[in-house]
Amino acid sequence: MGITVAIIGAGPAGFYTVEALLERCQTVTIDIIERLPTPYGLVRAGVAPDHQSTKQVVRKFEQTALANLVHFYGNVEVGRDITIDDLLAQYDALVVAAGAPNDRMLGVPGEQLEGVYGASAFVGWYNGHPDFRDLNPRLSPSTVVIGNGNVALDIARILVKTPDEMAASDIPGYALDAIAAAGIETVHVLGRRGPANTKFAPAEMREIARLTDCTPLVDPADMPEDAADDDKVLKLFRSFSAVAPCGAHKRLQFQFFAAPEAIIGHAHVEALRYRRNRVEAGRLVATDAVCDIACGTVITAIGYRASPLPGVPFNADAGRVENINGRVDSRLFAVGWAKRGPTGVIGSNKPDGEHCAEQILAELGSDAAATARPGRAGLERLLAERQIRYVTFDDWRLLNEQEVTRADAPAPRRKFTSFAEMMAVLGAARRQRLG
């Protein structure tokens, strides 16, 4: 028997680490422990529901999960069902790949008002994440999305797309209906810097240019005069600054040099107050100009933070696991957003996973003789003692099959969105099997 490794979190960082371990060691046994009954982390619950091609990466992850030496334990929460110490006692190495599921706070007055949502909750809601399916956001004709990263752009796009444009997505029906019923007229996307300093990807910006019932708008006064002609994002902004709103029912208004200062309202959000900025030598300089945007909904998309796990050192300032280049402590590692914070795309986790695998094998040795730690048998014994009903990868495949089967074409799947629903489906299948 070779070394045993447990990975906490079944998202891209976890799967790339498993893949890298398997490539480097023939005898490593790997168990993936996941809080949700479903695998794939942000690929399932973060990548926008209309970006189905991005989600195809799960085909590779599925092959990895089906490897002989790999098992999936879904519906097991570390910190509640099992502790870090429990896991370190069972496994030779432990990898925290639990991502960064919490929103960074804006830190302005009014952030607690009804109608203010963080991207994690809002994206989770329209992606059918069990934690957020009941968010029931207060949507309104005028909505402000704060942030100039790709998450902000995803949110804005989902809000202004028509039901037809979403037909081939896997957005849950409740979210599609709520967005359609909100009568959205204007989505303001607020950036504290200018059009030359956004983090928008060109491909995502091109989608904005192709929206069927929404006019993207930029104030021409915000456009830099000396912009390079080959900057794809700036070129699009320039084209948006040259159009007048006409025809389309919705507007996507890019509001630049706007630093949020307060969210105003009594029972709920009524306006977003921002201060105009200037950018001087890359630094933000506040001006005296203050403006209000009347709105009923504010969504912040300004970055994420990891969740502290009891027993794992946490850097509260950075919002991630305390680590030195992925190493946390003896036999304890971190990878992906839990390690480096919320940066990069899905593929950025591949080199991270490779590095993590190499660190583990360097510390333990790939051909380590059988250790005294029981690995999988120990985990299963603890879960049985604690009566934790875990979800296997075969269980997930059954859920997956049912999600696909019950979808109305061209939607690729109709997601199960609650723990209870998923466990009931699995319970029924088990009873049927037992006759």
Point out which residues bind ligand NAP (CB under 6 A).
Answer: 106, 146-152, 154, 191-193, 199, 201, 204, 260, 301-303, 342-345
In whole angstroms, give the CA distance from residue 395 to residue 126. Answer: 24
For residues 353 and 335, the answer to whether their CB atoms sit within 8 Å is yes
327 forms beta bridges with 324, 333
Q: Which is nearer to ligand NAP, 41 or 74 (CB)?
A: 41
Least spacing, CB of residue 345 vs ligand NAP, in Å: 5
Least spacing, CB of residue 161 vs ligand NAP, in Å: 15
Least spacing, CB of residue 254 vs ligand NAP, in Å: 12
Q: Which is nearer to ligand NAP, 224 or 344 (CB)?
A: 344
φ and ψ of 4, to 5 deg: -120, 135
Q: Which is nearer to ligand NAP, 48 or 364 (CB)?
A: 48
Least spacing, CB of residue 301 vs ligand NAP, in Å: 5
Identity of the residue numbered 114: E
Least spacing, CB of residue 8 vs ligand NAP, in Å: 20
C-alpha count within 13 angstroms, C-beta hemisphere, residue 394: 3
Least spacing, CB of residue 191 vs ligand NAP, in Å: 6
Q: Which is nearer to ligand NAP, 193 or 268 (CB)?
A: 193
Identity of the residue numbered 396: W
Q: Which is nearer to ligand NAP, 304 or 314 (CB)?
A: 304
Least spacing, CB of residue 223 vs ligand NAP, in Å: 18
Q: Which is nearer to ligand NAP, 172 or 195 (CB)?
A: 195
Least spacing, CB of residue 135 vs ligand NAP, in Å: 18
Q: Which is nearer to ligand NAP, 166 or 332 (CB)?
A: 166
Angle between helices 150-160 and 119-126 (to 10 degrees): 40
φ and ψ of 102, to 5 deg: -105, 150
* Alpha helix stretches (DSSP H) within 30-107: 41-45, 58-65, 84-90
Residue 49's H or E segment, with its range, is none
3-state class of 160 per DSSP? Answer: helix
Structure tokens at 198: 């956004």
Q: Which is nearer to ligand NAP, 189 or 309 (CB)?
A: 189
**According to the 3-state scheme, what is the secondary structure of 325-388?**
CCEEECCEEECCHHHHCCCCCHHHHHHHHHHHHHHHHHHHCCCCCCCCCCCHHHHHHHHHHCCC
294 forms beta bridges with 271
Least spacing, CB of residue 99 vs ligand NAP, in Å: 11
Q: Which is nearer to ligand NAP, 11 or 149 (CB)?
A: 149
Q: Which is nearer to ligand NAP, 115 or 375 (CB)?
A: 115
φ and ψ of 399, to 5 deg: -60, -45
Q: Is the preceding peptide bond at 49 cis, omega within 30 degrees of 0?
A: no
Angle between helices 349-364 and 12-24 (to 10 degrees): 50
The gap from C-alpha 377 to its chain's centroid, in whole angstroms, comes to 32
Least spacing, CB of residue 297 vs ligand NAP, in Å: 17
How many other β-carbons are positioned within 10 Å of the β-carbon of residue 104?
A: 18
